[in-house]
């Protein structure tokens, strides 16, 4: 047979988007290091992208870490870009259960691999709860975003009941409605309507993403257990409120930090990026002074207008700091990215522009002194663990919630106006790099770095919870 039949076998199912695939891969690698056989299930679309960015050898060669595929239910596309989130979300919940059950049946009938003993599913892929019930095996939902955003999504039904959602017309965007304080969410204080995940900003009562995220968060409460990629101290108030309603939660983050402490095993080399990464930017950073570089990356989904892209460009140029800016090919709405020639001339000595980079390596580089970010949860956690302060420009989903917490509760960030202007970019960069406020924020960021390290160290809350989760939720000693 080649396998001990007692070897536990976890099937890991991420939501098919870069920000979800990454943390699920870290969790899969951690389970693999604890003796689990892993089946990692990408969609066919992302599996093809993965092979394109890494080469076919990237999915072969490990005897006990296998890549599998299921269709996402959308029309076929070879386009190497982020898929439409609305269509994808609606399709996964309607179309994935049957092919997933077929895949589980195929795996279980293969004599080459041990039988599936548990499923670890993305928090927004709740069809896996049903699949595990059918097979009679343990299942955990892995919420890859912040715990504060999870609590925000749990309020979506309450927002409908209070008559706040749907909005009657578009005026709510500019008439101050979004600045209204909200004091009725358990475990969340100093929150305004604008800090709730932004799928509430709609006047269609049947908005797909409002319905999808609200119902998937509620579905997590039907699972046997939920894992959060956070650590207790960072979100303790909101975690306490979630645990009061649903006690079977495990905080095991920051996962990339926990994974960096695991012994070097064969799966540790698997990189989950769906884009080709530019390693030359590290060489460029090596030539810069410590703490001198502004790193700019708005993640894998954010899109912006050409006007905003130019304001960011000139704000960075006028600040006179060296900067590393990740500009995805699909970051501009409906057009390819063309930055003004005079801008490229102006910054050629001190600006480095690339289409994707190894972000953890960049943030841990001594040259990086500031991170201009969309406030996605992975980016925020990576910045926390490296003690890098932030300028936040949230775009959608949980990013507004994360931004509010970073700026107020954690004190590691400042927010830039959504309608960004070059003078704001320049002024905030200068304040954060050299101003008194920036120094205070920098000290706070270093505090959180130490706390994150403590959480994943021996005896720390996240490492302890990880061990407990394997034993209690996945039924493995």
Known catalytic residues are 20, 122
Give the start-end residues of each E strand in 92-220: 118-122, 139-143, 181-182, 191-192
Q: How far is CA 368 from CA 251, 288, 472, in A?
A: 28, 9, 40
Provide the CB-side half-sphere exposure for 149 (13 A, CA).
28
Of 124, 142, 141, 150, residue with least CA distance to 401: 150
* 125: helix, strand or coil: coil
User: Contact 274/52 with Cβ under 8 angstroms?
Assistant: no
User: Contact 423/315 with Cβ under 8 angstroms?
Assistant: yes
Question: What is d(CA 35, CA 208) in angstroms, rounded to the nearest whole number?
Answer: 40
Provide the CB-side half-sphere exposure for 42 (13 A, CA).
19
Contacts for 435 with CB less than 8 Å, ≥ 6 apart: none
User: Contact 71/102 with Cβ under 8 angstroms?
Assistant: no
Question: What is d(CA 229, CA 145) in angstroms, rounded to the nearest whole number?
Answer: 7
Exposure class string for 225-257: b at 16+ Cβ within 10 A, else e: bbbbbbbbbbbeebbebbeeeeeebbbbbbbbb
User: Contact 340/422 with Cβ under 8 angstroms?
Assistant: no
User: Contact 144/34 with Cβ under 8 angstroms?
Assistant: no
Question: What is d(CA 12, CA 256) in angstroms, rounded to the nearest whole number?
Answer: 17
DSSP letters along 340-408, please? Answer: -HHHHHHHTTTEEEES---HHHHHTSTTEEEEEE---HHHHHHHHHHT--EEE---STTHHHHHHIIII
User: Contact 330/303 with Cβ under 8 angstroms?
Assistant: yes
Provide the CB-side half-sphere exposure for 222 (13 A, CA).
14
């Amino acid at each position: 047979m080649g396998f001990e039949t007692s070897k536990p076998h976890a099937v890991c199912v991420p939501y098919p988007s870069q920000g979800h695939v990454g943390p699920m891969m870290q969790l899969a690698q951690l389970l693999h290091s604890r003796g689990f056989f892993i089946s990692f299930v990408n969609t066919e679309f992302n599996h093809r992208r993965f092979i394109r960015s890494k080469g076919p050898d990237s999915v072969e060669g490990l005897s006990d870490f296998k890549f599998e595929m299921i269709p996402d239910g959308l029309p076929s596309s070879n386009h190497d870009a982020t898929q439409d989130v609305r269509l994808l979300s609606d399709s996964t919940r309607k179309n994935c259960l049957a092919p997933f059950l077929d895949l589980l049946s195929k795996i279980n009938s293969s004599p080459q691999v041990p039988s599936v003993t548990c499923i670890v599913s993305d928090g927004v892929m709740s069809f896996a709860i049903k699949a595990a019930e059918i097979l009679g095996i343990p299942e955990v939902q892995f919420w890859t975003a912040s715990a504060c955003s999870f609590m925000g999504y749990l309020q979506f039904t309450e927002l409908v009941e209070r008559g706040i959602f749907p909005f009657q017309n578009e005026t709510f965007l500019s008439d101050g409605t979004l600045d209204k304080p909200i004091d009725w969410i358990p475990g969340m204080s100093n929150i305004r309507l604008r800090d709730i995940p932004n799928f509430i900003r709609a006047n269609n009562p049947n908005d797909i993403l409002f319905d999808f995220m609200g119902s998937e968060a509620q579905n997590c409460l039907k699972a046997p257990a939920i894992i959060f990629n956070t650590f207790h101290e960072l979100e303790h108030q909101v975690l306490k409120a979630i645990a009061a309603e649903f006690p079977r939660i495990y905080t095991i983050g920051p996962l990339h930090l926990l994974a960096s402490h695991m012994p070097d095993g064969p799966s540790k080399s698997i990189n989950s990026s769906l884009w080709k990464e530019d390693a030359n930017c590290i060489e460029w950073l090596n030539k810069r002074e410590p703490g001198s570089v502004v790193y700019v990356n708005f993640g894998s989904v954010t899109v912006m207008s050409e006007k905003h892209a130019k304001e960011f460009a000139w704000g960075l140029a006028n600040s006179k700091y060296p900067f590393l800016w990740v500009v995805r090919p699909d970051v501009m709405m409906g057009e390819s990215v063309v930055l003004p020639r005079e801008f490229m001339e102006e910054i050629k000595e001190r600006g480095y522009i690339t289409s994707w980079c190894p972000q953890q390596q960049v943030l841990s580089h001594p040259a990086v002194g500031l991170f201009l970010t969309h406030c996605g949860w992975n980016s925020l956690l990576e910045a926390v663990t490296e003690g890098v302060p932030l300028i936040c420009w949230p775009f959608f989903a949980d990013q507004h919630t994360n931004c509010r917490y970073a700026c107020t509760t954690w004190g590691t960030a400042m927010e830039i106006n959504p309608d960004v202007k070059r003078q704001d970019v320049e002024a905030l960069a200068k304040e954060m790099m050299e101003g008194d406020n920036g120094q205070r924020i920098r000290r706070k960021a270093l505090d959180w770095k130490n706390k994150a390290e403590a959480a994943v160290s021996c005896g720390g809350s996240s490492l302890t919870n990880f061990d407990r989760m394997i034993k209690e939720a996945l039924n493995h000693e």
